Structure 1
Amino acid sequence: MSRPVRVAVNGATGRMGRLLVELLRRDRRFELAAALTAPDAPEMGAPVAPGSTVRYSHDWSQAGALDVAIDFSSPAGLAEALAHCEARGVALVVGTTGLDAAMLRRLEAAGRAIPLLRSANFSLGVAVLARLLREAAAVLRDWDLEIVEAHHGRKVDAPSGTALLLGEAAAAARGTTLARAGVYAREGQTGPREPGAIGFAVVRGGDVVGEHTALLLGQGERVELGHRATDRSIFARGAIEAAHWLAGKSAGAYALDAMLAERIAGG
Protein backbone atom coordinates (compact mmCIF):
# COMPACT_ATOMS: atom_id res chain seq x y z
CA MET A 1 0.00 0.00 0.00
CA SER A 2 1.65 3.24 -1.19
CA ARG A 3 -0.13 5.52 1.30
CA PRO A 4 -0.16 5.12 5.10
CA VAL A 5 -2.51 2.44 6.41
CA ARG A 6 -5.53 4.04 8.10
CA VAL A 7 -6.02 2.26 11.42
CA ALA A 8 -8.43 2.43 14.35
CA VAL A 9 -7.61 1.16 17.83
CA ASN A 10 -10.51 -0.21 19.88
CA GLY A 11 -9.86 -0.34 23.62
CA ALA A 12 -7.55 2.64 23.21
CA THR A 13 -7.50 3.63 26.89
CA GLY A 14 -6.56 0.17 28.15
CA ARG A 15 -2.99 -0.87 28.90
CA MET A 16 -2.46 -2.42 25.47
CA GLY A 17 -4.50 0.24 23.70
CA ARG A 18 -2.33 3.03 25.05
CA LEU A 19 0.80 1.26 23.83
CA LEU A 20 -0.76 0.77 20.41
CA VAL A 21 -1.74 4.43 20.12
CA GLU A 22 1.72 5.58 21.16
CA LEU A 23 3.53 3.25 18.75
CA LEU A 24 1.18 3.88 15.82
CA ARG A 25 1.57 7.65 16.12
CA ARG A 26 5.33 7.22 15.63
CA ASP A 27 5.08 4.68 12.80
CA ARG A 28 5.07 6.36 9.38
CA ARG A 29 3.48 3.30 7.79
CA PHE A 30 0.23 4.17 9.56
CA GLU A 31 -2.25 6.98 10.03
CA LEU A 32 -4.07 6.71 13.35
CA ALA A 33 -7.63 7.49 12.27
CA ALA A 34 -9.61 6.66 15.41
CA ALA A 35 -9.14 5.73 19.06
CA LEU A 36 -12.26 4.00 20.42
CA THR A 37 -12.97 3.35 24.09
CA ALA A 38 -15.80 2.63 26.52
CA PRO A 39 -18.46 5.38 26.73
CA ASP A 40 -17.74 6.00 30.42
CA ALA A 41 -13.95 6.26 30.04
CA PRO A 42 -12.57 9.39 31.79
CA GLU A 43 -10.53 10.18 28.66
CA MET A 44 -13.63 10.47 26.46
CA GLY A 45 -13.30 13.45 24.11
CA ALA A 46 -9.69 14.21 25.03
CA PRO A 47 -6.93 14.15 22.38
CA VAL A 48 -4.81 11.00 22.37
CA ALA A 49 -1.72 13.21 22.74
CA PRO A 50 -1.07 16.95 23.04
CA GLY A 51 -1.75 18.61 19.70
CA SER A 52 -3.32 15.50 18.15
CA THR A 53 -6.52 15.89 16.12
CA VAL A 54 -7.54 12.33 17.07
CA ARG A 55 -9.72 12.22 20.16
CA TYR A 56 -10.92 9.31 22.26
CA SER A 57 -14.43 8.40 21.14
CA HIS A 58 -17.05 5.70 21.39
CA ASP A 59 -18.64 6.53 18.04
CA TRP A 60 -17.49 4.21 15.26
CA SER A 61 -19.39 6.31 12.71
CA GLN A 62 -16.82 9.08 13.27
CA ALA A 63 -13.88 6.81 12.41
CA GLY A 64 -14.06 7.58 8.69
CA ALA A 65 -12.54 5.37 6.03
CA LEU A 66 -10.36 2.62 7.53
CA ASP A 67 -8.06 -0.05 6.21
CA VAL A 68 -7.78 -2.03 9.44
CA ALA A 69 -8.88 -2.00 13.08
CA ILE A 70 -6.98 -3.43 16.04
CA ASP A 71 -9.15 -4.61 18.94
CA PHE A 72 -7.86 -5.04 22.50
CA SER A 73 -11.08 -4.08 24.28
CA SER A 74 -13.65 -6.43 25.81
CA PRO A 75 -16.08 -9.01 24.43
CA ALA A 76 -18.77 -6.30 24.24
CA GLY A 77 -16.38 -3.82 22.64
CA LEU A 78 -15.25 -6.44 20.16
CA ALA A 79 -18.86 -7.07 19.11
CA GLU A 80 -19.20 -3.38 18.15
CA ALA A 81 -15.88 -3.37 16.30
CA LEU A 82 -16.79 -6.53 14.44
CA ALA A 83 -20.16 -5.15 13.35
CA HIS A 84 -18.49 -1.98 12.01
CA CYS A 85 -15.74 -3.86 10.17
CA GLU A 86 -18.16 -6.36 8.62
CA ALA A 87 -20.47 -3.58 7.42
CA ARG A 88 -17.63 -1.67 5.77
CA GLY A 89 -15.27 -4.44 4.70
CA VAL A 90 -12.50 -3.37 7.10
CA ALA A 91 -9.77 -5.81 8.11
CA LEU A 92 -9.74 -6.67 11.82
CA VAL A 93 -6.94 -7.76 14.15
CA VAL A 94 -8.33 -9.28 17.36
CA GLY A 95 -6.32 -9.52 20.56
CA THR A 96 -9.27 -9.47 22.96
CA THR A 97 -9.51 -12.60 25.12
CA GLY A 98 -12.19 -14.16 27.31
CA LEU A 99 -14.51 -14.76 24.34
CA ASP A 100 -17.43 -17.16 24.65
CA ALA A 101 -18.40 -19.81 22.13
CA ALA A 102 -20.97 -17.55 20.48
CA MET A 103 -18.39 -14.83 19.79
CA LEU A 104 -15.90 -17.38 18.49
CA ARG A 105 -18.54 -18.57 16.03
CA ARG A 106 -19.19 -14.97 14.99
CA LEU A 107 -15.50 -14.43 14.35
CA GLU A 108 -15.32 -17.63 12.34
CA ALA A 109 -18.21 -16.45 10.18
CA ALA A 110 -16.71 -12.96 9.83
CA GLY A 111 -13.52 -14.50 8.48
CA ARG A 112 -15.46 -15.46 5.39
CA ALA A 113 -16.40 -11.84 4.72
CA ILE A 114 -13.41 -9.73 5.84
CA PRO A 115 -9.69 -10.25 6.49
CA LEU A 116 -9.52 -11.26 10.16
CA LEU A 117 -6.57 -12.28 12.30
CA ARG A 118 -7.00 -13.40 15.91
CA SER A 119 -4.32 -14.50 18.35
CA ALA A 120 -4.01 -15.08 22.09
CA ASN A 121 -0.48 -13.70 21.93
CA PHE A 122 0.92 -11.26 19.38
CA SER A 123 4.57 -11.75 20.29
CA LEU A 124 6.38 -12.68 17.09
CA GLY A 125 8.78 -14.71 19.22
CA VAL A 126 5.89 -16.78 20.59
CA ALA A 127 4.59 -17.27 17.05
CA VAL A 128 7.98 -18.66 16.06
CA LEU A 129 8.01 -20.82 19.20
CA ALA A 130 4.63 -22.32 18.30
CA ARG A 131 5.88 -23.05 14.80
CA LEU A 132 9.00 -24.78 16.14
CA LEU A 133 6.97 -26.73 18.68
CA ARG A 134 4.63 -28.05 16.01
CA GLU A 135 7.57 -29.43 14.07
CA ALA A 136 9.29 -30.87 17.14
CA ALA A 137 6.10 -32.46 18.52
CA ALA A 138 5.41 -34.13 15.17
CA VAL A 139 8.94 -35.50 14.76
CA LEU A 140 9.34 -36.51 18.44
CA ARG A 141 5.85 -37.96 18.54
CA ASP A 142 6.53 -40.51 21.30
CA TRP A 143 8.34 -38.13 23.63
CA ASP A 144 6.61 -36.76 26.71
CA LEU A 145 5.54 -33.13 26.43
CA GLU A 146 5.15 -30.64 29.29
CA ILE A 147 4.47 -26.92 29.06
CA VAL A 148 5.57 -24.66 31.94
CA GLU A 149 4.45 -21.04 32.15
CA ALA A 150 5.13 -18.20 34.59
CA HIS A 151 3.35 -14.85 34.99
CA HIS A 152 2.98 -12.07 37.53
CA GLY A 153 0.86 -12.67 40.59
CA ARG A 154 -2.04 -10.53 39.36
CA LYS A 155 -2.91 -12.81 36.45
CA VAL A 156 -6.32 -14.36 37.05
CA ASP A 157 -6.42 -17.27 34.56
CA ALA A 158 -4.35 -20.44 34.36
CA PRO A 159 -2.91 -21.90 32.27
CA SER A 160 -2.23 -18.79 30.24
CA GLY A 161 -3.79 -18.36 26.83
CA THR A 162 -0.31 -18.62 25.35
CA ALA A 163 0.38 -21.92 27.11
CA LEU A 164 -2.89 -23.26 25.71
CA LEU A 165 -1.99 -21.92 22.26
CA LEU A 166 1.28 -23.87 22.44
CA GLY A 167 -0.51 -26.98 23.68
CA GLU A 168 -3.03 -26.77 20.86
CA ALA A 169 -0.25 -26.42 18.30
CA ALA A 170 1.51 -29.52 19.66
CA ALA A 171 -1.70 -31.51 19.94
CA ALA A 172 -2.67 -30.75 16.35
CA ALA A 173 0.78 -31.81 15.17
CA ARG A 174 0.21 -35.16 16.88
CA GLY A 175 -3.29 -35.62 15.51
CA THR A 176 -5.11 -35.04 18.78
CA THR A 177 -6.66 -32.21 20.81
CA LEU A 178 -6.12 -30.69 24.23
CA ALA A 179 -9.59 -31.91 25.19
CA ARG A 180 -8.23 -35.44 24.90
CA ALA A 181 -4.56 -34.98 25.82
CA GLY A 182 -4.38 -32.04 28.23
CA VAL A 183 -3.48 -32.61 31.90
CA TYR A 184 -3.84 -29.48 34.03
CA ALA A 185 -3.34 -30.67 37.61
CA ARG A 186 -1.39 -33.37 39.43
CA GLU A 187 -1.74 -34.04 43.12
CA GLY A 188 -1.50 -37.06 45.37
CA GLN A 189 -1.29 -40.58 43.98
CA THR A 190 -1.66 -39.77 40.30
CA GLY A 191 -0.24 -43.02 38.96
CA PRO A 192 2.21 -43.18 36.05
CA ARG A 193 2.11 -40.59 33.31
CA GLU A 194 -0.37 -41.34 30.54
CA PRO A 195 1.30 -41.83 27.15
CA GLY A 196 0.55 -38.94 24.83
CA ALA A 197 -0.49 -36.57 27.61
CA ILE A 198 0.35 -32.86 27.32
CA GLY A 199 0.94 -31.58 30.83
CA PHE A 200 0.78 -28.00 32.09
CA ALA A 201 2.52 -26.42 35.08
CA VAL A 202 1.81 -22.87 36.28
CA VAL A 203 3.97 -20.40 38.23
CA ARG A 204 2.56 -17.10 39.56
CA GLY A 205 4.43 -14.32 41.33
CA GLY A 206 6.32 -11.07 41.22
CA ASP A 207 6.30 -8.96 38.07
CA VAL A 208 6.94 -11.69 35.49
CA VAL A 209 5.68 -10.45 32.13
CA GLY A 210 5.48 -13.93 30.65
CA GLU A 211 7.67 -17.02 30.34
CA HIS A 212 6.80 -20.21 28.45
CA THR A 213 8.86 -23.37 28.09
CA ALA A 214 7.94 -26.51 26.19
CA LEU A 215 9.79 -29.60 27.40
CA LEU A 216 10.03 -32.61 25.10
CA LEU A 217 11.41 -35.43 27.22
CA GLY A 218 12.80 -38.62 25.72
CA GLN A 219 14.95 -41.44 27.04
CA GLY A 220 18.36 -40.03 27.91
CA GLU A 221 17.74 -36.64 26.29
CA ARG A 222 15.33 -33.74 26.16
CA VAL A 223 14.61 -30.70 24.02
CA GLU A 224 13.62 -27.37 25.59
CA LEU A 225 11.96 -24.64 23.55
CA GLY A 226 11.24 -21.41 25.35
CA HIS A 227 10.34 -17.75 25.17
CA ARG A 228 10.75 -15.03 27.78
CA ALA A 229 9.02 -11.65 27.55
CA THR A 230 10.59 -8.73 29.40
CA ASP A 231 8.61 -5.84 27.90
CA ARG A 232 4.86 -5.71 27.31
CA SER A 233 5.34 -3.57 24.23
CA ILE A 234 6.29 -6.69 22.25
CA PHE A 235 2.61 -7.65 22.12
CA ALA A 236 1.61 -4.25 20.74
CA ARG A 237 4.45 -4.33 18.22
CA GLY A 238 3.37 -7.75 17.02
CA ALA A 239 -0.24 -6.61 16.63
CA ILE A 240 0.95 -3.62 14.60
CA GLU A 241 2.98 -5.87 12.30
CA ALA A 242 -0.08 -8.10 11.91
CA ALA A 243 -2.27 -5.08 11.08
CA HIS A 244 0.15 -3.85 8.42
CA TRP A 245 0.32 -7.33 6.89
CA LEU A 246 -3.44 -7.89 7.01
CA ALA A 247 -4.50 -4.56 5.45
CA GLY A 248 -5.39 -5.16 1.82
CA LYS A 249 -5.59 -8.94 2.14
CA SER A 250 -8.57 -10.80 0.72
CA ALA A 251 -11.27 -12.04 3.10
CA GLY A 252 -10.22 -14.95 5.26
CA ALA A 253 -9.41 -16.13 8.77
CA TYR A 254 -5.65 -15.66 9.21
CA ALA A 255 -3.13 -16.55 11.90
CA LEU A 256 0.26 -15.10 12.77
CA ASP A 257 1.79 -18.24 11.34
CA ALA A 258 0.57 -17.23 7.88
CA MET A 259 2.49 -13.97 8.20
CA LEU A 260 5.60 -15.87 9.30
CA ALA A 261 5.25 -18.30 6.38
CA GLU A 262 5.07 -15.36 3.96
CA ARG A 263 8.20 -13.86 5.48
CA ILE A 264 10.01 -17.18 5.20
CA ALA A 265 9.02 -17.34 1.54
CA GLY A 266 10.36 -13.85 1.06
CA GLY A 267 6.99 -12.14 0.63
Structure 2
Amino acid sequence: MGKHKNAGRSLLESFMYSNGDIGDNGEEEQVPLPDSMRASTLLEQIGKERSWTDDQIDRDLNILDDNRLYFVRDLRALSNHSWTVIELLPLVRDLLRTAVDPDWERRYYKIKDKEKKKKDKKDKKKKKYKKNDFSSNTMQLGEPVIADDDRHESDSSSSSSSSSSASDNQDEKQQKSSASAATAFTGRPIKAVSSSRIHVRTTAGKIYECDRRCPHKGVDLATWGQVLGNKLICTKHNWQFDLDGSGVGPKGRTVHPCSVNDW
Protein backbone atom coordinates (compact mmCIF):
# COMPACT_ATOMS: atom_id res chain seq x y z
CA MET A 1 0.00 0.00 0.00
CA GLY A 2 2.76 2.45 0.97
CA LYS A 3 4.38 1.87 -2.39
CA HIS A 4 1.55 3.75 -4.13
CA LYS A 5 1.24 6.58 -1.58
CA ASN A 6 1.84 9.33 -4.19
CA ALA A 7 0.10 7.63 -7.11
CA GLY A 8 -2.70 10.21 -7.31
CA ARG A 9 -0.39 13.21 -7.03
CA SER A 10 0.23 15.42 -10.09
CA LEU A 11 3.73 16.01 -11.44
CA LEU A 12 3.63 19.62 -10.20
CA GLU A 13 2.62 18.54 -6.69
CA SER A 14 5.33 15.88 -6.72
CA PHE A 15 7.90 18.58 -7.51
CA MET A 16 6.63 20.81 -4.69
CA TYR A 17 6.80 17.93 -2.19
CA SER A 18 9.96 16.28 -3.51
CA ASN A 19 12.38 18.21 -1.28
CA GLY A 20 10.04 18.55 1.70
CA ASP A 21 10.88 17.42 5.22
CA ILE A 22 8.83 15.04 7.34
CA GLY A 23 6.81 17.03 9.86
CA ASP A 24 6.02 16.12 13.49
CA ASN A 25 2.83 14.37 12.39
CA GLY A 26 4.74 12.16 9.96
CA GLU A 27 3.36 13.94 6.88
CA GLU A 28 5.42 15.48 4.10
CA GLU A 29 5.69 19.27 4.31
CA GLN A 30 5.26 21.30 1.12
CA VAL A 31 8.21 23.46 0.10
CA PRO A 32 7.84 26.54 -2.12
CA LEU A 33 8.89 26.50 -5.76
CA PRO A 34 12.39 27.99 -6.26
CA ASP A 35 12.56 31.66 -7.31
CA SER A 36 14.88 30.70 -10.18
CA MET A 37 12.33 28.34 -11.76
CA ARG A 38 11.12 29.59 -15.14
CA ALA A 39 7.52 30.80 -15.24
CA SER A 40 7.16 29.16 -18.66
CA THR A 41 8.13 25.76 -17.19
CA LEU A 42 5.53 26.17 -14.44
CA LEU A 43 2.80 27.22 -16.90
CA GLU A 44 3.59 24.36 -19.28
CA GLN A 45 3.38 21.88 -16.39
CA ILE A 46 0.01 23.29 -15.28
CA GLY A 47 -1.23 23.15 -18.88
CA LYS A 48 -0.24 19.50 -19.22
CA GLU A 49 -1.97 18.62 -15.94
CA ARG A 50 -5.13 20.36 -17.24
CA SER A 51 -4.91 18.88 -20.78
CA TRP A 52 -4.71 22.30 -22.43
CA THR A 53 -3.79 22.45 -26.12
CA ASP A 54 -0.38 23.64 -27.30
CA ASP A 55 -1.99 26.73 -28.86
CA GLN A 56 -3.64 27.65 -25.57
CA ILE A 57 -0.39 27.23 -23.67
CA ASP A 58 1.55 29.24 -26.28
CA ARG A 59 -0.92 32.14 -25.99
CA ASP A 60 -0.48 32.20 -22.22
CA LEU A 61 3.32 32.00 -22.57
CA ASN A 62 3.28 35.01 -24.90
CA ILE A 63 1.35 37.00 -22.29
CA LEU A 64 3.97 36.13 -19.65
CA ASP A 65 6.77 37.26 -21.99
CA ASP A 66 4.94 40.50 -22.87
CA ASN A 67 4.67 41.30 -19.14
CA ARG A 68 8.35 40.33 -18.49
CA LEU A 69 7.35 37.52 -16.17
CA TYR A 70 10.25 35.16 -16.82
CA PHE A 71 10.78 33.50 -13.43
CA VAL A 72 8.77 32.43 -10.39
CA ARG A 73 10.31 35.35 -8.47
CA ASP A 74 8.72 37.74 -10.99
CA LEU A 75 5.29 36.20 -10.35
CA ARG A 76 5.78 36.52 -6.59
CA ALA A 77 6.62 40.21 -6.99
CA LEU A 78 3.16 41.00 -8.42
CA SER A 79 0.70 42.90 -6.22
CA ASN A 80 -2.96 41.97 -5.84
CA HIS A 81 -3.87 44.66 -8.37
CA SER A 82 -1.23 43.50 -10.87
CA TRP A 83 -2.64 39.98 -10.84
CA THR A 84 -6.08 41.33 -11.81
CA VAL A 85 -4.88 43.37 -14.81
CA ILE A 86 -2.72 40.70 -16.49
CA GLU A 87 -4.55 39.50 -19.60
CA LEU A 88 -4.60 35.85 -18.56
CA LEU A 89 -7.83 33.92 -18.14
CA PRO A 90 -9.03 33.92 -14.49
CA LEU A 91 -8.42 30.18 -14.18
CA VAL A 92 -4.83 30.51 -15.46
CA ARG A 93 -4.18 33.43 -13.09
CA ASP A 94 -5.51 31.56 -10.06
CA LEU A 95 -3.61 28.35 -10.84
CA LEU A 96 -0.33 30.23 -11.37
CA ARG A 97 -0.75 32.31 -8.23
CA THR A 98 -1.66 29.32 -6.07
CA ALA A 99 1.38 27.43 -7.39
CA VAL A 100 3.85 30.21 -6.49
CA ASP A 101 2.07 31.26 -3.28
CA PRO A 102 -0.36 28.60 -1.94
CA ASP A 103 -1.29 30.75 1.07
CA TRP A 104 -2.10 33.96 -0.84
CA GLU A 105 -5.91 33.68 -0.71
CA ARG A 106 -6.05 33.18 3.05
CA ARG A 107 -3.75 36.18 3.61
CA TYR A 108 -5.73 38.29 1.14
CA TYR A 109 -9.04 37.81 2.94
CA LYS A 110 -7.37 38.19 6.32
CA ILE A 111 -6.08 41.62 5.26
CA LYS A 112 -9.51 42.56 3.87
CA ASP A 113 -11.15 41.54 7.14
CA LYS A 114 -8.61 43.54 9.14
CA GLU A 115 -9.19 46.62 6.96
CA LYS A 116 -12.96 46.30 7.42
CA LYS A 117 -12.64 46.08 11.20
CA LYS A 118 -10.35 49.09 11.22
CA LYS A 119 -12.80 51.10 9.10
CA ASP A 120 -15.77 50.10 11.30
CA LYS A 121 -13.85 51.13 14.40
CA LYS A 122 -12.96 54.48 12.82
CA ASP A 123 -16.58 55.14 11.80
CA LYS A 124 -17.78 54.26 15.28
CA LYS A 125 -15.28 56.68 16.81
CA LYS A 126 -16.41 59.48 14.45
CA LYS A 127 -20.04 59.00 15.50
CA LYS A 128 -19.03 59.13 19.14
CA TYR A 129 -17.09 62.36 18.68
CA LYS A 130 -19.95 63.91 16.74
CA LYS A 131 -22.37 63.05 19.50
CA ASN A 132 -20.20 64.63 22.19
CA ASP A 133 -19.19 67.67 20.19
CA PHE A 134 -19.17 70.77 22.36
CA SER A 135 -17.15 72.90 19.98
CA SER A 136 -19.97 75.45 19.63
CA ASN A 137 -19.77 76.19 23.38
CA THR A 138 -16.00 76.47 23.67
CA MET A 139 -14.44 79.83 24.47
CA GLN A 140 -11.66 81.32 22.36
CA LEU A 141 -9.00 82.70 24.66
CA GLY A 142 -6.65 85.48 23.63
CA GLU A 143 -2.90 85.09 23.24
CA PRO A 144 -1.20 84.96 26.65
CA VAL A 145 1.04 87.84 27.65
CA ILE A 146 4.73 87.01 27.36
CA ALA A 147 7.19 88.78 29.64
CA ASP A 148 10.24 90.45 28.09
CA ASP A 149 12.62 87.87 29.58
CA ASP A 150 10.48 85.03 28.27
CA ARG A 151 10.24 86.65 24.82
CA HIS A 152 14.03 87.10 24.68
CA GLU A 153 14.54 83.48 25.68
CA SER A 154 12.04 82.38 23.04
CA ASP A 155 13.75 84.43 20.31
CA SER A 156 17.14 83.00 21.31
CA SER A 157 15.78 79.47 21.24
CA SER A 158 14.19 80.10 17.81
CA SER A 159 17.49 81.42 16.43
CA SER A 160 19.37 78.41 17.79
CA SER A 161 16.76 76.07 16.33
CA SER A 162 17.03 77.75 12.90
CA SER A 163 20.83 77.43 12.96
CA SER A 164 20.58 73.77 13.95
CA SER A 165 17.99 73.16 11.22
CA ALA A 166 20.22 74.76 8.57
CA SER A 167 23.14 72.58 9.70
CA ASP A 168 20.94 69.46 9.59
CA ASN A 169 19.76 70.36 6.07
CA GLN A 170 23.36 70.74 4.91
CA ASP A 171 24.32 67.36 6.43
CA GLU A 172 21.27 65.77 4.79
CA LYS A 173 22.24 67.17 1.37
CA GLN A 174 25.79 65.81 1.79
CA GLN A 175 24.42 62.38 2.75
CA LYS A 176 22.08 62.37 -0.26
CA SER A 177 24.97 63.35 -2.52
CA SER A 178 27.12 60.53 -1.13
CA ALA A 179 24.27 58.05 -1.45
CA SER A 180 23.68 59.16 -5.04
CA ALA A 181 27.33 58.59 -5.91
CA ALA A 182 27.32 55.19 -4.21
CA THR A 183 24.25 54.02 -6.09
CA ALA A 184 25.30 55.32 -9.50
CA PHE A 185 26.19 51.78 -10.57
CA THR A 186 23.29 49.84 -9.07
CA GLY A 187 20.53 48.18 -11.04
CA ARG A 188 20.64 45.84 -14.02
CA PRO A 189 24.22 45.48 -15.38
CA ILE A 190 23.02 45.23 -18.99
CA LYS A 191 21.44 48.00 -21.06
CA ALA A 192 20.70 48.43 -24.75
CA VAL A 193 22.56 51.27 -26.49
CA SER A 194 21.31 50.56 -30.01
CA SER A 195 19.34 47.99 -31.96
CA SER A 196 22.46 45.85 -32.35
CA ARG A 197 24.72 46.62 -29.34
CA ILE A 198 24.49 46.57 -25.54
CA HIS A 199 26.64 47.76 -22.65
CA VAL A 200 27.59 45.16 -20.02
CA ARG A 201 29.09 45.90 -16.59
CA THR A 202 31.00 42.99 -15.00
CA THR A 203 31.15 42.25 -11.30
CA ALA A 204 34.58 43.93 -11.16
CA GLY A 205 33.10 47.12 -12.62
CA LYS A 206 34.54 46.86 -16.13
CA ILE A 207 32.26 48.06 -18.93
CA TYR A 208 32.07 46.37 -22.33
CA GLU A 209 30.09 47.04 -25.47
CA CYS A 210 29.09 43.88 -27.32
CA ASP A 211 26.53 42.35 -29.69
CA ARG A 212 22.93 42.55 -28.52
CA ARG A 213 21.88 39.28 -30.16
CA CYS A 214 23.15 35.91 -28.95
CA PRO A 215 25.02 34.20 -31.83
CA HIS A 216 23.27 30.92 -30.99
CA LYS A 217 19.59 31.66 -31.67
CA GLY A 218 19.53 35.45 -31.99
CA VAL A 219 18.04 35.89 -28.49
CA ASP A 220 17.94 39.51 -27.25
CA LEU A 221 20.58 39.68 -24.51
CA ALA A 222 19.19 43.01 -23.27
CA THR A 223 16.27 40.94 -21.95
CA TRP A 224 17.67 37.43 -21.48
CA GLY A 225 21.25 38.31 -20.55
CA GLN A 226 22.76 38.02 -17.06
CA VAL A 227 26.25 38.80 -15.73
CA LEU A 228 28.26 36.43 -13.54
CA GLY A 229 31.77 37.64 -12.77
CA ASN A 230 33.26 38.61 -16.13
CA LYS A 231 30.92 36.38 -18.12
CA LEU A 232 27.82 37.36 -20.10
CA ILE A 233 25.22 34.57 -19.90
CA CYS A 234 22.28 33.99 -22.25
CA THR A 235 19.76 32.46 -19.84
CA LYS A 236 17.49 31.33 -22.68
CA HIS A 237 19.85 28.48 -23.68
CA ASN A 238 22.62 28.87 -21.04
CA TRP A 239 25.35 30.07 -23.43
CA GLN A 240 28.23 31.86 -21.68
CA PHE A 241 30.70 34.36 -23.15
CA ASP A 242 33.95 35.38 -21.43
CA LEU A 243 34.17 39.15 -21.95
CA ASP A 244 37.81 39.25 -20.80
CA GLY A 245 38.61 36.53 -23.32
CA SER A 246 37.40 38.12 -26.57
CA GLY A 247 33.79 37.18 -25.76
CA VAL A 248 34.22 33.62 -27.03
CA GLY A 249 31.51 31.14 -26.05
CA PRO A 250 30.48 27.62 -27.11
CA LYS A 251 31.53 26.44 -30.57
CA GLY A 252 33.86 29.43 -30.92
CA ARG A 253 30.95 31.87 -31.25
CA THR A 254 31.57 35.41 -29.94
CA VAL A 255 29.61 38.54 -29.02
CA HIS A 256 32.52 40.79 -30.17
CA PRO A 257 33.10 42.76 -26.94
CA CYS A 258 35.18 45.92 -26.69
CA SER A 259 36.08 47.81 -23.52
CA VAL A 260 34.46 51.25 -23.08
CA ASN A 261 34.71 53.95 -20.42
CA ASP A 262 31.18 55.32 -20.26
CA TRP A 263 28.17 53.40 -18.98
Please tell me the TM-score bracket, short chain as reference: under 0.3
- Higher fraction of helix: 2
In our comparison, the structure showing a higher alpha carbon Rg is 2
Please give the TM-score of this superposition, normalised by the length of structure 1. 0.21
Which structure is higher in RCO with an 8 Å CA cutoff and minimum separation 6? 1
Please give the TM-score of this superposition, normalised by the length of structure 2. 0.21
- Higher fraction of strand: 1
